[in-house]
Amino acid sequence: MGHIERDLKEYPVASVDKGTLVREFLSFLSIESVKHKTEDLTPFECDGLTAYPQIPLVAVLPENEEQICQIMKLCNQFRVPIVFRGAGTGLSGGAIPYDQGVLLVLSKLKRIVHIDPVGRSAIVQPGVRNAAISEATKKHNLYYAPDPSSQIACSIGGNVAENSGGVHCLKYGLTVNNILKVRFVTIEGDVVEIGSEGLDSPGYDLLALITGSEGLLGVVTEVTVKLLPTPEKAQVIMASFDDVEKAGLAVADIIAAGIIPAGLEMMDKKAINAVEQFIGAGYPMDAAAMLLCESDGSIEEVNSEIKKTTEVLYKAGATDVTVSTDDAHRLKLWAGRKSAFPAVGRVLPDYFCMDGTIPRRTLPRVLKRIAEMEKTFNLQCANVFHAGDGNLHPLIMFDANEGNQLHRAELYGAAILELCVEVGGTITGEHGVGIEKINQMCIQFDNHELQTFLNLKLAFDPEGRLNPGKAVPTLNRCAEFGHMHVHRGEERFPDIPRF
């Protein structure tokens, strides 16, 4: 953020004749699978980051892997940049197209290919919705653990590309910890299988490299996910605090007591109020902060953990503790948290969702500085927080049609990201870099580290055709951006008091 522009000048694009390209595509794709008229392309102009719309030259919606191979070969031959798109819920602009590029949309590949209830895995196509997997495996008492709040819409291919997390990832891990195998197609149009049906495979861990690679290395065409047995019982505690810092310390107390909750989320007053007005989840409007803390397991286990956690919470200064009475109540409490982004979107027309992760102990300091920055940039910010794993989602609210609010919001976002790096954290915990945080990559990494990323990118995509200009900045871009690389965990001017 801060002067984001799509930057392709480092990636010379052969200007290609749209007509020729469309004709070539139509030689192996159906008419409905090739979109080239402006009105057909507008639905693809942005993802969840709405501030920078752009329609692609052509969008293609293949129906199978073979067509994907052909598309890749063709784009490679015509030297056209390609952007992949799953469900378009990404929040960092990863799926935003190029005006001179092809958008490869995976929405037609939405088949669950195979479920193995005994071996506890499922093979799915990339366009399958995250939630559809657990819905389909429910009858076997199995589920797919990573549950991003966007799970009813986002695709598993997008999840792999972003290494998405969810509210249960402290205990159950991120996408990378829950997939066994991936098929992907390279820019040359070759199919490669990585991972295995076992728990590991020889050589370098390419599965880890592909996960979170933001569409820069290849297109994911099939994913084998791990399934877990559905816990017998789950129950959630909602705890209110009259002070944000106390809530933050309570999180550390829970961990110190040896408890790893299935989910551990925090919201500040602004987020609570926005959610409560949006869907009425029964949240405490007068609290300064609240925690949602879930236990799952056998009935007896949950009962004992809920008791233990409740004690810890009261000791940590909770003013009120509510335990979900049944599953409907539990889901209602979670529904509030899961709708936090759209709820905040109701307060003002636009919001930027930041995604830094910090060492949890720095939370009070970080929240204080984020609050102070509200004054600096004259904008409001609500905070939602995957508290268990230190992943912050400050939601900067603005109205892009009002004066220079968009620009101020960009600067505010940039300042928050830089703060996360300063305290020893990272600019993105789960939403990815995309175009949104491309400049902040220059702050988190030095040139040699970035060069390592670029070398890996070149190993897969020697001419930089896949999602060029995103996720990993070129060294030139960083030189132009001009901000200094901040050494992790060292504040830039530690002696200057912070106000």
Ligand X SMILES: Cc1cc2nc3c(=O)[nH]c(=O)nc-3n(C[C@H](O)[C@H](O)[C@H](O)COP(=O)(O)OP(=O)(O)OC[C@H]3O[C@@H](n4cnc5c(N)ncnc54)[C@H](O)[C@@H]3O)c2cc1C
Interface pick for ligand X out of 41, 59, 74, 95 (rule CB under 6 A): 95
Shortest distance, position 443 Cβ to other proteins, whole Å: 10
The answer to whether the beta carbons of residues 125 and 110 sit under 8 Å apart is yes
Q: How far is the CB of 215 from ligand X (least distance, A)?
A: 3
Residue 497 partner contact from ligand X, other proteins, none using kind-dependent CB cut-offs of 5 to 8 Å: none
Pick one of ligand X, other proteins, none as the site partner of residue 405 (Cβ within 5 to 8 A by kind): none
Q: Which of residues 323-362 bind ligand X (CB under 6 A)?
A: 341
Q: Where are the beta strands (DSSP E) in 340-419?
A: 350-353, 380-386, 391-398
- Of residues 468-487, those binding other proteins (CB under 8 A): 471-472
> Which of these, 73, 97, 77, lies nearest to 85 by C-alpha position?
97
**Least distance in angstroms from the C-beta of 186 to other proteins:** 8
Closest by CA position to 382, among listed 358, 416, 414, 335? 416
Residue 249 or 413: the one with the smaller Cβ distance to ligand X is 413
- Applying CB under 6 A, the span of 51-59, 147-155, 264-272, 305-313 interacting with ligand X comes to 147-155
Q: Does 91 bind ligand X (CB under 6 A)?
A: yes
How many C-beta atoms lie closer than 10 Å to residue 328's C-beta? Answer: 9
Which residue lies nearer to other proteins by CB, 345 or 434? 434
Residue 70 or 164: the one with the smaller Cβ distance to other proteins is 164
Amino acid identity for residue 323 in this structure: V
Tokens of 294: 């879930």
Per CB under 8 A, contacts with other proteins among 344-363 are 357-361
Give me the least distance between CB of 400 and ligand X, in Å please.
Answer: 17
CA distances to 167, 255, 378 from 171, in Å:
9, 12, 38
Span from 54-62, 250-258, 318-326, 405-413 in contact with other proteins (CB under 8 A): 250-258
Told to check if 214 binds ligand X by CB under 6 A, we report yes
Exposure of 94 in the CB half-sphere (CA atoms within 13 A)? 29
* 237 binds other proteins per the rule CB under 8 A: no
Site for other proteins in 117-176 (CB under 8 A): 117-120, 140-142, 162-163, 165, 169-170, 173-174, 176
CA–centroid distance for 281 within its chain: 24
3-class DSSP assignment, residue 297: strand
For residue 328, give Cα distances in angstroms to 133, 136, 236, 390, 451.
21, 20, 11, 28, 50
* Segments in 383-483 forming alpha helices (H): 405-422, 438-444, 447-460, 475-481
Interaction with other proteins in 51-110: which residues (CB under 8 A)? Answer: none
Q: Do the beta carbons of residue 345 and residue 233 sit within 8 Å?
A: no
Return the one option of ligand X, other proteins, none that residue 129 interacts with (CB less than 5 to 8 A, by type). Answer: none
CB-nearer residue toward other proteins: 397 or 421: 421
* Phi/psi of residue 121, nearest 5 degrees: -150, 165
493 binds other proteins (CB under 8 A): no
Note the residues at the interface with ligand X (CB under 6 A): 47-48, 83-91, 94-95, 106, 126, 148-150, 154-155, 157-159, 161-162, 164-166, 214-215, 219-220, 341, 430-431, 467
